[in-house]
Chains A and B, each alone.
Chain A
Amino acid sequence: MNEGKIYSELIYKLFKEGKVNFIDLVIKKIKNEGKSHILRDILSYVLEKYYEEKNLLRGKIKLAFKEDLEEVINLLEKKLKKRVEVEKIEIDKSLILGGIFLSKNLKVDFSLKKILKTFIS
Chain B
Amino acid sequence: MEELFHTFGIDWRLLIAQIINFFLLFFLVYKFLSKPLYEIIEKRRKEIEEGYKNKEEAEKLIKEIYRLREEILKKAEIEKEEMLRSAYQERESLIKNFLEEVDKLRKEFNEKFEKEKEIMKKNFYLEMEKEIPKILEKFAQKVFHDSKLNKEFIKRILNE
Interface size on A, residues (CB 8 A): 23
Q: Does the CB pair A97–B144 fall under 8 Å? A: yes
- Contact across chains for A65 and B150 when beta carbons are under 8 A apart: yes
Asked if B140 and A96 sit within 8 Å, CB to CB, the answer is yes
Is A116 a contact of B133 with CB atoms below 8 Å?
Answer: yes
Q: Within the complex, which residue of A64, A67, A71 is in contact with B145, where a contact is CB–CB below 8 Å?
A: A64
Bound-state CA distance A78–B160 (Å) is 11
Contacts of B141 in A (CB 8 A): 93-94, 96
Q: A112-B140, A113-B137, A120-B136 are in contact. Are A98 and B147 (CB under 8 A)?
A: no
B159: CB under 8 A from chain A?
yes
Residue from the set B137, B145, B149, B154 with the largest chain A CB neighbour count within 10 Å: B154
Q: At the interface, yes or no: A30 with Cβ under 8 Å from chain B?
A: no
Chain B residues with CB below 8 A from A68, complex form: 151
In the complex, B27 has a CB within 8 A of chain A? no
Q: B89 → chain A, closest Cβ, in Å?
A: 66
Any B CB within 8 A of the CB of A89:
no
Using A97-B144, A117-B133 as known contacts, list a sample of 12 further A-B pairs with CB atoms less than 8 Å apart, ordered by residue number in A: A63-B150, A65-B150, A78-B158, A96-B140, A96-B144, A97-B146, A97-B150, A98-B153, A110-B158, A116-B133, A116-B136, A120-B132
Question: Chain A residues in contact with chain B, CB under 8 A?
Answer: 63-65, 67-68, 71-72, 75-76, 78-79, 93-94, 96-99, 110, 112-113, 116-117, 120
